[in-house]
């Protein structure tokens, strides 16, 4: 059978002669001497039979497909959990190969993940069609949902058959929450409706501008439509253009170029339409289901409900200015001088965020790339006044740098000009830590030493690490949170993501070793340098110790109560979110099980 990206599940299913009726019970399993009760997977007696999948396919209007990894057309066969299928297609393989590192292409695939580590790096594009192509950690089936009823049908089917459930929009996720071995995936990317209003008429005191967006709407597309309004408006999104705004971004909190002015994306949420774990379609806002509303605003991506749409505040556009600064090996080969430049830059970060700036930077071996410093509502002259002490210190120390600046009529124009697209298809582990105002004021030297550890965490990993940094103060204009995000973000200065590449083909032992390096060397160095900071669930190490406190602090007990109320059976699972303490992925990253 030739490969076809829209092959229906029904066409690939083998006859399951021993299939049983759906079972609600967890599947007993023992691993490493411990007892578990697991979700149901292909090959288990509880796995739904062919007729059940066919009925689901009918319910969702023929939009149920068997999932094939993106690279499958480059291989002669795909050896899936349901059957072995002929998949080679030279033209399709060429398309995959050309686009595998492109985020926009990846977002359009049924179940692909932007960064491939948590797929088990299975079935990548290849020039060797005879090689093995397996499912890896991808889901088995995908519902390419077109309506809210399709989402409900998928949630109901997963709950009734005890299947692992994944809600996937773009696959833009550092820690693999958009995929899961053997799961049923509900893809919400088709939910692209966008509706603006000049005056919000929902409950609560807010009566300003608002926009309601479907679950599939991505950052740049939303900003483009906001810019087209008369007059143009702004919406809180992440800095990356492919991020799905209504899903993991807002449910994890969400930060972006407007964070200094309006806090986290979650702080701007006014209402959600969702499907709950029980299959109920409802609205959550400050009047209706207010506990669920609060939890959806930063309490954990994919943890409380499947989001269909969200309504967010909009804000007037303003003129803005942007500045770029580089210190790198083309300007100096003196490593000590380079790090003095990094130290001076970070030393003034409290001043930057105190002045209302947002700053995005990349730090790698002998490369500090700051693009951009963002001044929303500021002139270039005002930006230069804020940055002058840093530049003066560079000059006094003899730190070589290059810089440029520009004014823009709107923040949207700045965003299009100065923010770069990110890539896809790479394999890496990521962690991260937030440094507070106090940490920067008291421990800047220690923070820089921690950065050095992230870049070179071990002798055999020298210069292999990296940092993606964001300077913002979520409490600059919104000192009191109305969301479930960690209270310490209201005193934030620098949120830095730690990156550790993973070689393709790494063994399980190598992966465990590198995870240990991330958690106990790179992130640990940042945690020690920033004792007043916290972690961010969307861009953090889910395997760090005490993740409950690091991700949510004093908000966690309330979130746990809400999780137990709205999803007591654990229909929704994403790693290290409220209520997952008793769940574990066992057997080399495959089965999701409850500890017993």
**Domain locations in the chain as residue ranges:** 9-187, 194-316, 320-546
> 236 preceded by cis ω (within 30°)?
no
Average pLDDT of 548-574?
Answer: 98
Three-state secondary structure call for residue 34: strand
Angle, helices 437-455 vs 335-347, to 10°: value is 150
pLDDT at 445 (0 to 100): 98
What rounded mean pLDDT belongs to the chain?
95
Cα separation, 326 vs 110, whole angstroms? 38
pLDDT at 22 (0 to 100): 34
Provide, rounded to the nearest whole percent, the portion of the chain with pLDDT above 70: 96
Best CATH choice for the domain 194-316 from the list 3.40.605.10, 3.60.21.10, 3.30.465.10, 3.30.230.10: 3.30.465.10
pLDDT at 2 (0 to 100): 33
Cα separation, 27 vs 46, whole angstroms? 8
pLDDT tens sequence across 6-49:
333 333 333 222 333 333 479 999 999 999 999 999 999 999 99
Q: What is the architecture of the domain spanning 9-187?
A: 2-Layer Sandwich (3.30)
pLDDT at 19 (0 to 100): 31
Q: Which residue bears the tokens 């090959």? A: 43
The answer to whether the beta carbons of residues 373 and 323 sit under 8 Å apart is yes
Instruction: List 351's β-bridge partners, or say none.
Output: none
pLDDT tens sequence across 155-172:
999 999 999 999 999 999
pLDDT band at 476 (very low <50, low <70, confident <90, very high): very high
pLDDT at 421 (0 to 100): 83
- What does the angle CA 526 – CA 531 – CA 533 come to, to the nearest 5 degrees? 80
Cα separation, 428 vs 505, whole angstroms? 12
pLDDT at 72 (0 to 100): 98
pLDDT at 1 (0 to 100): 28
Best CATH choice for the domain 320-546 from the list 3.40.462.20, 3.40.50.720, 3.40.50.2000, 3.40.720.10: 3.40.462.20
Dihedral of CA 216/140/60/251: which sign? negative
pLDDT at 420 (0 to 100): 87
Average pLDDT of 540-556?
Answer: 97
pLDDT at 4 (0 to 100): 36
> Cα-flanking dihedrals φ and ψ of residue 501, to 5°?
-60, 150
| Run of H or E residues at 358 | strand 358-364
State the DSSP code for 156.
Answer: H
pLDDT tens sequence across 403-458:
999 999 999 999 999 998 888 999 999 999 999 999 999 999 999 999 999 999 99
pLDDT tens sequence across 346-389:
999 999 999 999 999 999 999 999 999 999 999 999 999 999 99
Cα separation, 198 vs 315, whole angstroms? 10
Provide, rounded to the nearest whole percent, the portion of the chain with pLDDT above 90: 95
pLDDT at 531 (0 to 100): 98
Closest CA to 479 of 487, 492, 490, 495: 490
Instruction: Give alpha helix (H) positions in 266-368.
Output: 290-296, 335-347, 349-354
Closest CA to 154 of 63, 67, 218: 63
pLDDT band at 3 (very low <50, low <70, confident <90, very high): very low
Cα 498–chain centre separation: 14
pLDDT tens sequence across 268-293:
999 999 999 999 999 999 999 999 99
Burial 308-329 (b: 16+ CB within 10 A, else e): bbbbbbbbebbbbbbbebbbbe
What is the 3 state secondary structure string of 363-387? EECCEEEEEEEEEECCCHHHHHHHH
Contacts of 260 (CB under 8 A, 6+ apart): 353, 356, 357, 358, 376, 472, 473, 474, 476, 477
Do 9-187 and 194-316 have matching folds?
Answer: no
CB atoms within 10 A of CB 595: 12
Cα separation, 451 vs 454, whole angstroms? 5
């Amino acid at each position: 059978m030739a490969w076809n990206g829209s092959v229906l599940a029904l066409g690939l299913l083998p006859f399951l002669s021993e299939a049983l009726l759906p079972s609600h019970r967890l599947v007993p399993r023992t691993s490493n001497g411990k007892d578990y009760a697991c979700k149901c997977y292909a090959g288990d007696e509880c796995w739904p039979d062919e007729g059940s999948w066919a009925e689901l396919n009918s319910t969702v209007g023929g939009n149920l497909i068997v999932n094939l990894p993106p690279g499958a057309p480059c291989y002669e066969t795909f050896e899936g959990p349901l059957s072995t299928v002929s998949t080679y297609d030279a033209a399709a393989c060429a398309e995959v190969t050309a686009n595998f590192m492109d985020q926009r292409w990846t977002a359009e695939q049924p179940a692909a993940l932007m960064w491939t580590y948590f797929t088990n790096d299975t079935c990548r594009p290849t020039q060797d069609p005879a090689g093995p192509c397996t499912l890896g950690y991808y889901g088995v089936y995908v519902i390419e949902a077109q309506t809210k009823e399709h989402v409900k049908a998928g949630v109901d089917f997963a709950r009734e058959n005890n299947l692992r459930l994944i809600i996937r929009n773009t696959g833009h996720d550092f820690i693999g929450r958009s995929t899961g071995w053997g799961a049923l995936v509900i893809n919400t990317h088709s939910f692209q409706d966008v509706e603006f209003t000049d005056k919000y008429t929902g409950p609560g005191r807010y009566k300003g501008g608002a926009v309601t967006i479907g679950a599939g709407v991505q950052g740049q597309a939303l900003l483009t439509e906001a810019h087209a309004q008369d007059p143009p408006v702004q919406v809180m999104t992440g800095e990356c253009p492919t991020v799905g705004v209504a899903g993991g971004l807002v449910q994890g909190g969400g930060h972006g170029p407007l964070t200094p002015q309006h806090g986290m994306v979650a702080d701007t949420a006014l209402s959600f339409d969702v499907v709950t774990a029980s299959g109920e379609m409802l609205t959550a806002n400050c009047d209706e289901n207010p506990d669920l509303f609060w939890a959806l605003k930063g309490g954990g991506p994919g943890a409380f409900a499947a989001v269909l749409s969200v309504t967010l505040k909009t804000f007037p556009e303003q003129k803005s200015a942007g500045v770029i600064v580089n210190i790198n090996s083309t300007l100096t080969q003196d490593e000590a001088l380079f790090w003095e430049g990094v130290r001076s830059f970070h030393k003034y970060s409290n001043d930057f965020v105190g002045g209302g700036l947002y700053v995005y930077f990349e730090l790698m071996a002998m490369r500090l790339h700051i693009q951009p410093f963002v001044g929303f509502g500021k002139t270039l002259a005002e930006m230069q006044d804020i940055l002058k002490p840093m530049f003066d210190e560079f000059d006094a120390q003899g730190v070589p740098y290059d810089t440029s600046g520009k004014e823009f009529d709107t923040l949207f124009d700045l965003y299009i000009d100065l923010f770069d697209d990110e890539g896809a298809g790479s394999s890496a582990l990521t962690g991260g830590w937030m440094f507070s105002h106090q940490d920067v004021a008291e421990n800047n030297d220690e923070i820089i030493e921690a950065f050095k550890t992230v870049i070179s965490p071990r002798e055999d990993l020298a210069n292999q690490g990296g940092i993606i940094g964001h300077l913002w103060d979520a409490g600059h204009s919104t000192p009191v949170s109305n969301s479930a995000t960690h209270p310490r973000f209201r005193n934030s200065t620098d949120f830095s993501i730690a990156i550790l590449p993973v070689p393709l083909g790494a063994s399980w032992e190598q992966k465990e070793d590198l995870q240990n390096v991330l958690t106990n060397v790179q992130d640990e160095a940042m945690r020690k340098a920033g004792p007043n900071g916290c972690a961010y669930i969307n861009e953090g190490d889910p395997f760090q110790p005490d993740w409950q406190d690091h991700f949510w602090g004093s908000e966690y007990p309330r979130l746990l109560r809400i999780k137990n109320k709205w999803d007591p059976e654990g229909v929704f699972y994403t790693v290290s979110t409220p209520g997952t303490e008793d769940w574990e992925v066992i057997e080399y990253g495959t089965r999701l099980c409850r500890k017993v």
